[in-house]
Amino acid sequence: MEYNMKLYEGFLHGADYNPEQWLSYPEILQQDIEYMKKAHCNVVSIGIFSWSFLEPEEGKYNFEYFDKIVNDLWENNIKIILATPSGAKPRWLAEKYPEVLRVDKNKVRQIYGFRHNHCYSSPVYRSKITKLNKMLAERYSDKIIMWHISNEYSGECHCDLCQRAFREYLKTKYNNNLESLNHAWWTGFWSHNITDWEQIHSPVNIGEPDGIMTGLYMDWKDFVTYQTTDFMKAEIEAVKSVNENIPVTANFMGPYQPLDYHYMKDFVDVISWDSYPTWHSDRGDVYEGHTIAFAHDLHRGLKRKPFLLMESTPSLTNWLPYNKLKKPGMHRLSSLQAVAHGSDSVQYFQWRKGRGGNEKFHGAVIDHNNKPEGRVFDDVKNLGITLEKIKEIAGTETKSQVALVYEFRNRWAIDNSSGFNNADKKYKRTCINHYLQFWKRGINVDVIGADYDLSDYKVVVLPMLYSLSEKQIDNIEKFVANGGTVVATYMTGYANETDLCYMGGFPGGKLKDVFGLCADEIDTLYETDFNFVKLNNKSFKVVDYCELITPLTAEVTGKYEMDFYKGKPAVLKNSYNKGKAYYIACRDTGELLNELYEEIIKECNIKYHILPYGISIHTREDDFNNYLFVENYTEKEQKVSLKGKYIDVENDNIYTDEINLDAYEIKILKSTI
Ligand code: GLA
Ligand code: ZN
């Protein structure tokens, strides 16, 4: 189903709402709706943790209290996103059916507790929850705008049911051919040959731990994503069987290691995610600003469509080592940053702080003082007012000429391949460092997967793409052959999708021709080591990794200045068919990338801004207007030059050529196309 972002006419603004915690406080439940209106909230997500209330005993359902809540919200024009309550299970279920409890990596079956921890293969869990989901759909479909499927799917289970499902998954993948599997996993190593499907076991701590047989690990991780998705699909099917027109979402979690969202994305109508930046930490807000921007662009990039900010905190979290408050201005900046990157909502966890439980000190719109006033409440309310004023922007698209490939599978492969710097290969951070080069120049970037259609981009950045299937290699090759520009780094195309190294030199297959080089060796540097690279007659410090390259057709533009590889290629540029391929053989410390991207951006004719430190600009557009979000991540007042005339969407102020931004200010401007 094509989900229409204009469906809700404007932005969604609201929170996770857990009335179950307050059933014995009717006066609180009554106040909630009144306070929601005061806070300019127009939506709530309910039912996320309601299972034990909706089905207090097996097969005995109680919808009465929920009917009232749904009706009250409905009558008061608060839109409802209804969750399927699979994120936390009732005790009776675990007591009666232990199979629903996960078996951990030490092969220990957990006892009841916590949440987000059921076995995805358990037929009992599946049948119980899908039955309940269907009942919810039958009862409430006409009063809800969207389904929130489960909550933050995560984790894995190593029980016998999961082992069986894993083996079936492998049989299908390898066409029942054990020989292919043995080859893909390179089982000849340490005499690990598999002669019967029943011998296969998931990677666990007391057997084959992660990272020993990376082929097994990659397939297991794929299976975990597959099985989680299969469970999610069953949940979706249950609600769609009643009314297929209500869109579904599942709240994702950024560049989250355990799952492959590139696979999961196709089974939900709308992408949403839960964003918890650590503002005001010792890393600084500019660091946090572009780090979170990357995650927003990753979620927009999943479908290349607007997404929803399903959760964020109105003030602080409670689970970080240090839980800081947002300084004045930061709530607005952080929330509108999501909008700038394509979100059509600002939603919070949580509406109200509970009196007890683990999250009683997690930020909420309504605090324990139970008053619709104060700093946090006012920030929320003012944001609601702003979202109403900028309503016309909801549903508008983001156009990007640049894409950056972040591959969940590549992260699995890199992190679990023994070698290089085993402590931390810094894949995610490297992607974000490349991304920063565009962020600080106000250039939109789609963060996407290596299988995506690349034809609309001018530049595609491929940091540390160690793991690439032949199909992905073909995709990159085709893009360059047709005139695109790619930028890759050390460790590109070393191994295929089950972590078998490419033969004949790295990068594998056609990529050698695309980049016109062969990466012969890689030197891993100690923390205290460094080298320098000479590029454009300037010296740039490099760290961590230095590859030794033999150029084939590539032009050498930068050379190492020290060690036994002094004078050897460190930065290369190749013309391949109609396109260009840049290769950076070492890890820079910021300045080298700055120099190089400046050149690439100009050469590829990408529109960019010259911005002061800590300022970024992102755009959304429709057929008539171009919307600019000008963001200041510093505590300083800043001046930003913008050529032309802009109207402030919130108050119709007109700016020509220059605008002033206060500390942490964000302005939303428009220019007519
Ligand atoms: C996650 C969960 C919420 C809540 C918040 C707290 O995003 O989905 O239920 O626990 O974290 O930050
Ligand atoms: Zn299991």
**What spatial distance separates the first Cα and last Cα of the chain, rounded to whole Å?**
30
Radius of gyration of the chain (CA): 26
For residues 589 and 619, state if they share a domain.
no
349 CA to centre of ligand 1 in angstroms: 6
For residues 587 and 621, state if they share a domain.
no
For residues 580 and 461, state if they share a domain.
yes
Q: Is 476 helix (H, G, I), strand (E, B) or coil?
A: helix
For residues 62 and 108, state if they share a domain.
yes
State both tokens at 309.
């900010």
For residues 460 and 415, state if they share a domain.
yes
User: pLDDT averaged over the chain?
Assistant: 97
For residues 248 and 117, state if they share a domain.
yes
For residues 599 and 642, state if they share a domain.
no
Residue ranges in 202-242 assigned as alpha helix (H): 214-240
Tens of pLDDT, residue by residue over 556-572, are 999 999 999 999 999 99
Tens of pLDDT, residue by residue over 286-305, are 999 999 999 999 999 999 99
Contacts of residues 158-161 at CB distance under 8 Å and 24 or more positions apart, as own/partner, are: 158/102, 158/103, 158/104, 158/105, 158/107, 158/202, 158/204, 159/99, 159/102, 159/103, 159/109, 159/119, 159/121, 159/122, 161/99, 161/119, 161/121, 161/122, 161/123
pTM: 0.98
| pLDDT for the residue numbered 358 | 97
Q: What is the mean pLDDT of the segment spanning 98-114?
A: 98
| Pocket probe mutation, ligand 1, options 311, 313, 316, max atoms within 8 Å of Cβ | 311
673 has a pLDDT exceeding 90: no
CA separation (Å) from 345 to 390, 619, 625? 12, 16, 20
For ligand 1, what atom is nearest to the CA of residue 311? 7
* DSSP 8-state symbol, 658: E
For ligand 1, what atom is nearest to the CA of residue 276? 12
Look at the block and give the residue holding tokens 């259609």: 453
Calpha distance 375→373 (Å, rounded)? 7
Ligand nearest to the CA of 278: 1
| pLDDT for the residue numbered 8 | 67
Ligand nearest to the CA of 159: 2
Q: What is the residue with the minimal CA distance to atom 12 of ligand 1?
A: 317
Number of domains forming the structure of the chain = 3
**Is residue 316 in some structural domain?**
no
| pLDDT for the residue numbered 165 | 98
Residue ranges in 78-213 assigned as alpha helix (H): 91-96, 123-140, 160-173, 178-185
**Is residue 322 in some structural domain?**
no
Domain range enclosing 516: 402-603
Q: What is the mean pLDDT of the segment spanning 593-620?
A: 98
1 has a pLDDT exceeding 50: no
Tens of pLDDT, residue by residue over 175-228, are 999 999 999 999 999 999 999 999 999 999 999 999 899 999 999 999 999 999
| pLDDT for the residue numbered 211 | 87
Tell me if 158 sits within 8 A of 105, measured CB to CB.
yes
490 has a pLDDT exceeding 60: yes
For residues 598 and 620, state if they share a domain.
no
For residues 584 and 622, state if they share a domain.
no
Query: Cβ contacts of residue 113 below 8 Å, gap of 6+?
Result: none
* DSSP 8-state symbol, 459: E
Q: What is the mean pLDDT of the segment spanning 337-344?
A: 98
Phi, psi at residue 172, to the nearest 5°? -65, -45
Percent of the chain with pLDDT over 90: 98
Q: Is 208 helix (H, G, I), strand (E, B) or coil?
A: coil
For residues 646 and 557, state if they share a domain.
no
Phi, psi at residue 483, to the nearest 5°? 115, 0
For residues 253 and 113, state if they share a domain.
yes
2 CA to centre of ligand 1 in angstroms: 28
Which of 603, 632, 658 marks a domain boundary?
603
4 has a pLDDT exceeding 60: no
**Is residue 126 in some structural domain?**
yes
Catalytic amino acids?
A: 152, 311
Please write down the HEC assignment for all residues of 567-601: CCEEEEEEEECCEEEEEECEEECCHHHHHHHHHHH
Ligand 1 pocket (Cβ < 6 Å) reads: 151-152, 274, 276, 311, 317, 349, 359, 362
Ligand nearest to the CA of 103: 2
Which of 576, 603, 630 marks a domain boundary?
603
CATH at 467: 3.40.50.880
Tell me if 32 sits within 8 A of 2, measured CB to CB.
no
Calpha distance 437→458 (Å, rounded)? 15
129 CA to centre of ligand 2 in angstroms: 16
CATH at 99: 3.20.20.80
For residues 634 and 552, state if they share a domain.
no
Is residue 220 exposed (0-12), middle (13-18) or buried (19+ Cβ within 10 Å)? buried
215 CA to centre of ligand 2 in angstroms: 21
Q: What is the mean pLDDT of the segment spanning 239-245?
A: 97
| Pocket probe mutation, ligand 1, options 274, 318, 350, max atoms within 8 Å of Cβ | 274
**Is residue 106 in some structural domain?**
yes
370 CA to centre of ligand 1 in angstroms: 21
Residue by residue, DSSP assigns 350-376 as -SB--SSSTTTTS--SB-TT--S-SHH
| Pocket probe mutation, ligand 1, options 16, 51, 152, 324, max atoms within 8 Å of Cβ | 152
Tens of pLDDT, residue by residue over 121-178, are 999 999 999 999 999 999 999 999 999 999 999 999 999 999 999 999 999 999 999 9
* DSSP 8-state symbol, 210: T
Tens of pLDDT, residue by residue over 21-64, are 999 999 999 999 999 999 999 999 999 999 999 999 999 999 99
Which of 573, 603, 633 marks a domain boundary?
603
| pLDDT for the residue numbered 9 | 82
| pLDDT for the residue numbered 6 | 46
| pLDDT for the residue numbered 361 | 98
For ligand 1, what atom is nearest to the CA of residue 48? 9
Q: What is the residue with the minimal CA distance to atom 5 of ligand 1?
A: 349
